[in-house]
Structure 1
Amino acid sequence: MQLSQELARLFSLLWRITNDQRRGATLARLEYLILARLYRDGAMRAGDLAHGEGLDPSTLSRRIAALAERELVLRVTDPDDRRAQQLQLTDAGREQFLAEQRRRVALVTDAVAHWPASDRAKLAHLLHDLNDSLQKKAA
């Protein structure tokens, strides 16, 4: 069992189950990412969001338009530059994001619920260390 193979398998499975509408997915991956970033960091320009997440601005623009049409995000005047606009999460967007986040977390926590508590704690510790290492590489 190689780490790289298992990580690739994990990413593939997480992608499949979290985006499966039969399992209750209400947001596509990119929509979830946009709402998560706005929830975490607050209002921001679309260009800053695209740059920060490594997204293509034209793809992002289409998704933002769809989210705005569903009233999950608003375009508001940038207080620092009245010529520009920022994206802001609406109350409905916040609720939709949090519901989707709970659903996604439940998919994973349910999958390990039968594990001994000590194994779940080890996994959480190792994932924390992995995230810290990846965060340093991303910086």
Structure 2
Amino acid sequence: MQLSEELARTFAAMGRFLREREGDLSRTDFAVLIRLAGQQCTRSRDLAHAEGLDPSTMSRRLSSLAERGLIERHPDPADRRAQVLSLTETGRRALAQERDRRVDLVTDTLADWPEQDKAQLADLLGRLADSLEADRGGPTAGQSP
């Protein structure tokens, strides 16, 4: 198989794997909370752009997160007409729990892999993510979901 086909198959399998074992946060919720935790995006329109979503879709997602007490909105000091978003303490805990859950799922799946293979996989995936983000003009290493 071609590399692109293997990547597509891997990403699809990972998506199914996470959906079948979904926690309290959806993939989009998780991505939004990561961006807010890293202060990569703090406005709704920036989050929508970063996640490739329509602004109205992002607005509904943010309303849901706010209703669940995971984020809060504040007037933007630079533009009082706009709002900036931040994680609440509840949001930080939910994000930490979801990160731990996802790490456990992947760790359990790779439990019988040799350490060298796991390290090589992590290195290569990190390089791939860096290249994809650089081509897109996105966050640098360690900042993507």
TM over 0.5: yes
| In 2, Cα distance between equivalents of 1:19 and 1:69 | 23
Equivalence for 1:9: 9
Equivalence for 1:78: 76
| In 2, Cα distance between equivalents of 1:131 and 1:26 | 25
- One-letter code of the match for 1:62? R
What do you get for the CA RMSD once the two structures are aligned?
1.6
| In 1, Cα distance between equivalents of 2:78 and 2:37 | 20
Equivalence for 1:56: 54
> How far 1:56 moved relative to its partner?
0.8
| In 2, Cα distance between equivalents of 1:129 and 1:43 | 23
> How far 1:24 moved relative to its partner?
4.9
Contact 1:39-1:94 within 8 A present in 2 as well: yes
Equivalence for 2:19: 19
> How far 1:26 moved relative to its partner?
0.9
- One-letter code of the match for 2:14? L
Judge which range, 101-110 or 34-43, deviates more.
34-43
| In 2, Cα distance between equivalents of 1:43 and 1:125 | 26
- One-letter code of the match for 2:57? T
Residue 75 to residue 106, structure 1, CA distance change in 2 (3 Å): same
From 110, 118, 123, the equivalent of 2:121 is 123
Identity of aligned residues (%): 51
| TM-score (norm. length: structure 1) | 0.90
> How far 1:82 moved relative to its partner?
1.9
- One-letter code of the match for 1:3? L
Equivalence for 2:111: 113
Contact 2:41-2:47 within 8 A present in 1 as well: no
Contact 1:42-1:88 within 8 A present in 2 as well: no
Point out 4+ residue stretches in structure 1 off by more than 6 angstroms: none
- Are residue 93 (structure 1) and residue 95 (structure 2) matched? no
| TM-score (norm. length: structure 2) | 0.86
Flag structure 2 segments of 5+ consecutive residues without an equivalent: 138-145
> How far 1:52 moved relative to its partner?
2.6
The aligned length equals: 137
Say which structure is richer in helix.
1
> How far 1:31 moved relative to its partner?
1.0
| In 1, Cα distance between equivalents of 2:102 and 2:3 | 23
